[in-house]
Amino acid sequence: MTFPPVCPIIQLWEVITVPQLNVYLDKKTMEKVKDAAGMENSSVSKWVRTKLDHALKGDWPEGYFEVFGSLADVDLERPDQGKLADDSKRETL
């Protein structure tokens, strides 16, 4: 006995489904995400996916991990930063 082939619509659905991720955010953070996505003319999902792709890509400069922490002089001192009053006048935004 032969059975009819599986419904093509179900087969198509199985091919095009993608994993989903639920992220729980507080209201303030969600508003920031919505604003950031809007500034890039992007949906929230696309914006988050882009940021995750970038964060997980691991684009470190070649040789970065070979030189990281290799500085022998650990007695680094922060140079004098000057006074805020000596800073250039800036346009008020």
Which sequence spans correspond to the domains of the chain? Answer: 18-58
Q: Fill in the DSSP letter of residue 86.
A: G
pLDDT tens for 30-44 read 999 999 999 999 999
pTM of the model: 0.48
pLDDT tens for 21-71 read 899 999 999 999 999 999 999 999 999 999 998 888 877 778 888 887 777
Architecture of domain 18-58: Orthogonal Bundle (1.10)
CA distance 84 to 47: 37
